[in-house]
Amino acid sequence: MGRKSDSRQQLLDAAHALIWSCSYGAVTIEAICSRAGVKKGSFYYFFDSKSDLAIAAITEWWAEKWAVLGVFFRPEVPPVDRIVKYIDFACQYLIQEHEKSGQVLGCPFFTLGSEICMQDERLRALVQRILAQISGSFEQAIRDAQASGDLDGNDSELKARMLWAFYAGTLTRARIENNPDLLRTLAADALELIGAHPKLAQVAY
């Protein structure tokens, strides 16, 4: 076994990859250790349970992703661009992963949250906080776009719920059907859904 810090990171990486591509329930500690190249006895040096490992892996992965994705939601970014760039980045990443593995992975938080919501309160709460961070950013972008006149209406909360449901549903459907084509126009379709002005909807890519 390598250095302890290396073994812990390998376990985190293996847990995230396997849970995302398979499911939380289907992935065993043995499978995680095998993928990580770490002995099972060493697993318990770092973590008391699979749940503890999953929480650590998801927390670390999301912190890294938000450092990239959060840039899209900076106040100085035009509000409609925030939505477009975030959704497009997520979809392009999933399309690229499909090209490598032949599998549309969807959003790990939607699949994990649906699976464990009645089984593991700590994991459920963590997923809920992460999803609230994203959906809250969507709502703020919509509110700012309405204030600037780039979106019609004034019910930002309703539009954000519609956008969130459409985004989550499409990513989940793409995973179920293993169909990356559903992701290719998701950003443009999302803007049409919330009523972006045509000149702004054209920037979706």
Residue 6 sits in a domain whose CATH number is 1.10.10.60
Q: Are residues 119 and 180 in the same domain?
A: yes
Indicate if the alpha-carbon torsion angle 104, 28, 26, 23 is positive or negative.
negative
Q: Are residues 84 and 163 in the same domain?
A: yes
Q: Are residues 2 and 32 in the same domain?
A: yes
Task: Give how many domains the chain has, as a whole number.
Answer: 2
Q: Are residues 185 and 141 in the same domain?
A: yes
User: What pTM value is reported for the model?
Assistant: 0.85
Give me the domain span that covers residue 7. 1-57
Count of C-beta atoms within a 10 Å radius of residue 61 = 18
The CA distance from 188 to 193, in Å, is: 9
Q: Are residues 114 and 179 in the same domain?
A: yes
Q: Are residues 136 and 46 in the same domain?
A: no
Q: Are residues 84 and 141 in the same domain?
A: yes
For residue 68, is it within any domain? no
The CA distance from 193 to 205, in Å, is: 16
Q: Are residues 109 and 19 in the same domain?
A: no
Which of 82, 193, 180 has its CA nearest to residue 140?
A: 82
Note down pLDDT in tens along the chain; length 205 residues.
Answer: 445 568 999 999 999 999 998 889 999 999 999 999 999 988 999 999 999 999 999 999 999 999 998 999 999 999 999 999 999 999 999 999 999 999 999 998 888 888 888 889 999 999 999 999 999 999 999 999 999 988 887 789 999 999 999 999 999 999 999 999 999 999 999 999 998 865 554 444 4
Q: Are residues 82 and 152 in the same domain?
A: yes
Q: Which residue type is seen at 33?
A: C
For residue 169, is it within any domain? yes
Give the pLDDT confidence score for residue 204 in this predicted structure.
42
Q: Are residues 18 and 53 in the same domain?
A: yes
